[in-house]
Structure 1
């Protein structure tokens, strides 16, 4: 078929490659270019060992404490709260134990596909050098906090995910850059990270062009179901195809709505500060539990990022948040440069209240497929999502049950 993919982030480009593998003629359309959004500046983790949705009773219990700190792990801009209330209501409902259990089951199924799919994609495109399999650490600055976190790690172990518990001495032997404040942690040897999310996404884009994928820069404002299917741009240009795949991340909601699919997508604004050329502080990614940030040793430099700000797409960034992340990191990492030596960034994670992406067919147009809303796991789940989309486009049974990912699960 002739297929148009809307979105040139890591999900859209992975989908383009999976469709080319099936023999389809693919055009990728994006309003800016490859990796212009969250694929540019995320933390770079291939976090396939994570199995807990954001929507959970544990998270809800922490919300009051988090909201007392306007620069803490979670904040909500007061002016945005009225627009956010329907999304928050759905998040609370998704956090009920019965719903949480079903979401965990679905997330585990998708995460199990994630790393094999990335290995396959990287191998086929000769990009394996951009994936680093050095594991990841989740560390604590208090024994009590570690004890409270242990049941979660035990649950991961029960699912067959390798996890080792380490004391302070072992942690510093593994990562000498950790300060004396860190007293315990969990090591996931099978976790991975990428050289740099921008570098990886650009490499996927270049490889797609080399394989015959066409690219057009256009601001798509509607997808008309046809036939033929038409992706219509703001300037009136139209891209005709037999099928379309919507992978526009945080900008997917209005396009799905035009097709009659009301998707409760909002954005978690993530902040970071990167230090180009700074290497040697860490050798693997580290998550600082209870403090809402991670540190990733990218090939291009050290990145400190994380936290969640709920404020939509339009309000300006608040880089006091990235300063706060840096201030926290300076307590736990040796050799961290001054904040002003870094480059701050803010990006929009496309987030669904139940923490699961939307993967499936439009109600109005079965030949329009959705693949968006991956939240914190866009990079991790992109290659697996692409294989699922390719199966749907071909009319094959997908590799996992898509009921919990359905665009229609919200009605």
Structure 2
């Protein structure tokens, strides 16, 4: 049995806590709480295990010129933040080479193929299966020509054995009568989502504490290896958390801790925006990806959410909810019945993004007792359960279920 401290009680850290508790370890979670901008609480709720393409891909480059022309479009960079973002952008360009895309696809497929089975195993163990909604996920295109340009991605998914069905307009109208202005659609019948990501996280935290985990409500200021143990210095009432192993899993805030430990990770934040309306406002029966539009819609138990967009502006700039309004306006092209003036909760959060779209899952350069699991970008919820299994194997010195070389912190 080891004393293991987890820095960060987001979805990845919580899944890891349960994986480690399953093995009989003592678990301490170090998290300041009340972080309204962590993606765990405001994401779309998808377990998108059928995705295989990194952000640095032909799909993104095809849309990039059009997106960048619109200051309120799916992707924007605030001019004042451009100098700070330049190193990340250079790595993004490098990650877009055919060889790098190929390796990123292979790594994404490997980890995403294990994502849903890992979640089902975790939820079954904890009797939380009621959070899973297995209704499939739709991808839709306004322009059939844009759909035809995506045939290479669809073919790749088929080759990976990912179930999908290309729908005719009449088929789409039968399953999603509320959708308009759609010329092409693909149904992923094994795609699924959760009741609400915040509700799932709250249940995972509650059960972790019931199982014996300890929560230290504080911000981790430093992680300091010593001969006897690893020490976490905090700003809370408990100034020093001592552990045999430490997992750093605090999203975009992990970068500073990793840098202290000798690992300079090109981690930045994709600021994502969303709006959540009353349940049933969209009239959709399943989540929908609006291809080329930069947003998705989810019918969560707590309301209908439209979210997406990528804004690079760091963690200090205030939200620009004109971006949210623009996204809602674009959504109305597909859902003209939507009353955009009805009350909606607006939110902006920080996706921890790495240029090659692969998370960091591996040991710190300075001390192998410290393990990283952060930078999952758009796949934090999707990959949380499989990540928890991988880091548990690593901490226990067991052979890994997957080759973690593509996810190493030292790959940069």
Instruction: Identify the TM-score tier after normalising by the shorter chain.
Output: over 0.9
Give the structure 1 partner of residue 184 of structure 2.
Answer: 184
Match of 2:289 among 287, 290, 297: 287
**Alpha-carbon distance between aligned partners in 2 of 1:88 and 1:17, rounded to the nearest angstrom:** 36
Segments of structure 2 that go 5 or more residues without pairing to the other structure are none
**Alpha-carbon distance between aligned partners in 2 of 1:239 and 1:11, rounded to the nearest angstrom:** 20
After the TM superposition, which residues 107-122 of structure 1 pair with which residues of structure 2 at under 5 Å, given as runs?
Answer: 107-122=108-123
TM-score (norm 1): 0.97
**Contact 1:18 1:386 (C-alpha < 8 Å) held by counterparts:** yes
User: Shift of the alpha carbon at 1:184?
Assistant: 1.4
Give the structure 1 partner of residue 222 of structure 2.
Answer: 222
**Alpha-carbon distance between aligned partners in 1 of 2:95 and 2:71, rounded to the nearest angstrom:** 25
Match of 1:332, SS state, is coil
**Contact 2:47 2:191 (C-alpha < 8 Å) held by counterparts:** yes
Match of 2:359 among 357, 360, 364: 357
**Contact 2:59 2:150 (C-alpha < 8 Å) held by counterparts:** no
- 4+ residue segments displaced more than 4 Å: 33-36
Match of 2:317 among 290, 293, 315: 315
Give the structure 1 partner of residue 389 of structure 2.
Answer: 387
**Alpha-carbon distance between aligned partners in 1 of 2:65 and 2:80, rounded to the nearest angstrom:** 18
**Contact 2:54 2:356 (C-alpha < 8 Å) held by counterparts:** yes
Match of 1:295, SS state, is strand
After the TM superposition, which residues 97-176 of structure 1 pair with which residues of structure 2 at under 5 Å, given as runs?
Answer: 97-176=98-177
**Contact 1:10 1:35 (C-alpha < 8 Å) held by counterparts:** no
After the TM superposition, which residues 18-37 of structure 1 pair with which residues of structure 2 at under 5 Å, given as runs?
Answer: 18-32=19-33, 37=38
User: Shift of the alpha carbon at 1:221?
Assistant: 1.0
1:199-226 CA-partner distances (Å, limit 9, x unpaired): 1111111111111111111011110112
Match of 1:28, SS state, is strand
Match of 1:248 among 239, 247, 250: 250
1:57-102 CA-partner distances (Å, limit 9, x unpaired): 3323432221100111110000000000000000100110011111
Match of 2:209, SS state, is helix
**Alpha-carbon distance between aligned partners in 1 of 2:253 and 2:183, rounded to the nearest angstrom:** 41
**Contact 1:279 1:299 (C-alpha < 8 Å) held by counterparts:** no
**Contact 1:66 1:72 (C-alpha < 8 Å) held by counterparts:** yes
**Contact 1:35 1:198 (C-alpha < 8 Å) held by counterparts:** no
**Alpha-carbon distance between aligned partners in 2 of 1:269 and 1:24, rounded to the nearest angstrom:** 35
1:212-261 CA-partner distances (Å, limit 9, x unpaired): 11111101111011231011113570100111000000100000001111
**Alpha-carbon distance between aligned partners in 1 of 2:354 and 2:37, rounded to the nearest angstrom:** 21
**Alpha-carbon distance between aligned partners in 2 of 1:122 and 1:27, rounded to the nearest angstrom:** 21
CA RMSD of aligned residues (A): 1.3
**Alpha-carbon distance between aligned partners in 1 of 2:14 and 2:68, rounded to the nearest angstrom:** 36
Count of residue pairs the alignment pairs up:
409
User: Shift of the alpha carbon at 1:111?
Assistant: 0.4
